[in-house]
Amino acid sequence: MDHRLDKSSSAVVKPASDFDVDSGSEEIIDHAAETKLLAKLDLALVPIIMLVYLSCFLDRSNIGNVKTAGMPKDIGASTQQFATAVSIFYATCEST
């Protein structure tokens, strides 16, 4: 069997032909490599998620200022139109 050592970690990478689906054997997980991979994913994804969450928070807090400043009246939006815009805005920000 040809087992190669992955250059980026200490995990042994098995070729696809070595996995027998019908045998019922479980795959061995290298916990050190898993921890290293999770740390890389955390470093890559957490800052992006934090920025998206921050921008949604700032936008949600600013939508109240729009109503207070009288901007819906300035653009000719009715109360119902403003309520619909706020509902859509909150739904799209909460789903991220």
pLDDT for the residue numbered 32: 93
> In the predicted model, what is the mean pLDDT of the chain?
77
Per-residue pLDDT, averaged over 73-91, amounts to: 85
Per-residue pLDDT, averaged over 43-71, amounts to: 87
pLDDT for the residue numbered 1: 46
pLDDT for the residue numbered 47: 95
Question: What's the rounded Cα separation, in Å, for the pair 9 and 82?
Answer: 53
Q: Answer whether 9's CB lies under 8 Å from 33's CB.
A: yes
Domain boundaries, the chain: 4-19+29-94
pLDDT: is 66 or 36 the higher one?
Answer: 36
